[in-house]
Structure 1
Amino acid sequence: MNLSDEMVQVLRNSVLAWLATVDADGWPNVSPKEIFAPYTDPAGITAAIAIADIASPISVSNLRINPRACLSAVDIFRQVGYKVQGHVRIIAPCDAAFTEVSRGLLELTGGQYLVRHVLLLEVEQVRRIMAPSYHLFPERSEAQRVAQAMQAYGVQPVEPPTHS
């Protein structure tokens, strides 16, 4: 399943994503992921999400037992996101695909983190996530929602530079 432009934009606007895996006994594990990006393969198809394993030994261990996972990412200002389910392929630095698959992630780290593996989530199912306010206050515009979220989080919008 290919990711839509909207899904790609939400992923790029999300600060954190949450990866859910399950251990051998069926216990769930949810782990925050800071470095992740839509992955476009060499054929130009965006049907996966690359996730950096920076400090995720439990997630990796669980995925070795059961490769099914769910990643949830939300654009906190627009208050919308996606829950993405699929199978994960664990790609180690010694794998031939690592350089290609990790390229975008390494750019995001700015050289600050060691990427131990790339967790390549191959998208099989996607569901939209929306804040309850979308149902409670459908008349609100996206601009109103963004302004309210920024106020709630104490964030000031950045003014674009003026050129004289």
Structure 2
Amino acid sequence: MLKTIDDDMRRIVETARLSFVATVCSDGSPNLSPKGSMRVYDDGHIAFMDIASPNTVGNLQHDPRIEVNSIDFLRRRGYRFKGVAEFRDPGDPVYEWLHAWLLDLNGPGYPANRAILVHVERALPILSPAYTFGGAEEGDLRQSWARTYLADLEED
């Protein structure tokens, strides 16, 4: 298998905690949906659980093309993964692997309709302009944005 997903990509997906999935609606319009269950399955696949995703699932049933964006918001960088999705039902190894993780995270009884396995055909970096135009360093950005988000929480 071709290694499309490297260690840095894996780290970003695992630490992002929230990824965004883009699909195409039947009328050709875009659909964007947040996914908190995105995980790297292996060097060529990422997966997420259909917990409450009727629009995403419906779109993928008629057009399996998908793009996933995973961004570490403190590091201000991430990746976009383009590929094709397929459904994996209970009993399938992908479903069982992701379902076990989901239950460990959220406890028993958490809904899990099916897993969606994405065959990653292309992975590209996403970088804040602060890197390319501002010469920022990752550690500095991470600290600065952490302070910003903490300050916002303290105001609430």
Cα 1:76–1:111 change in 2 (3 A) is farther
CA distance in 2 between counterparts of 1:105 and 1:38 reads: 13
Q: Which runs of 5+ in 2 are unaligned?
A: 152-156
TM superposition score normalised by structure 1: 0.82
Identity %: 30
CA distance in 2 between counterparts of 1:149 and 1:34 reads: 21
Please say if residues 18 and 36 of structure 2, whose CA atoms lie closer than 8 Å, have aligned partners that are also in contact: yes
**Which is further off, 69-78 or 111-120?**
111-120
Please say if residues 10 and 75 of structure 1, whose CA atoms lie closer than 8 Å, have aligned partners that are also in contact: yes
Residue from 30, 33, 37 that aligns with 1:31: 33
TM-superposed deviation, 1:112: 6.2
TM-superposed deviation, 1:25: 1.6
Correspondence for 1:54: 51
CA distance in 1 between counterparts of 2:97 and 2:138 reads: 36
Taking only aligned residues, the RMSD between alpha carbons, in angstroms, comes to 1.7
Please say if residues 49 and 98 of structure 2, whose CA atoms lie closer than 8 Å, have aligned partners that are also in contact: no
Correspondence for 2:154: none
CA distance in 2 between counterparts of 1:149 and 1:128 reads: 20
Residue from 92, 104, 108 that aligns with 1:111: 108
TM-superposed deviation, 1:111: 3.5
Residue from 139, 143, 147 that aligns with 1:147: 143
- Give the alignment of 1:90-105 within 5 angstroms: 90-93=87-90, 95-97=91-93, 98-100=95-97, 102-105=99-102
- Give the alignment of 1:70-89 within 5 angstroms: 70-89=67-86
Correspondence for 2:124: 127
Report the AA paired with residue 64 of structure 1: Q
Secondary structure of 2:85's counterpart equals: strand
CA distance in 1 between counterparts of 2:20 and 2:109 reads: 21
CA distance in 1 between counterparts of 2:107 and 2:11 reads: 20
CA distance in 1 between counterparts of 2:46 and 2:102 reads: 10
Please say if residues 51 and 105 of structure 1, whose CA atoms lie closer than 8 Å, have aligned partners that are also in contact: no
Please say if residues 48 and 98 of structure 2, whose CA atoms lie closer than 8 Å, have aligned partners that are also in contact: no
Cα 1:117–1:9 change in 2 (3 A) is same
Q: Deviations over 1:99-157 (max 9, x none)?
A: 2454334434343621111111111011100112112211x3221111111011117xx
4+ aligned runs moved over 4 Å, structure 1: none
Q: Which runs of 5+ in 1 are unaligned?
A: 41-45, 156-164
Cα 1:105–1:125 change in 2 (3 A) is farther
Report the AA paired with residue 14 of structure 1: A
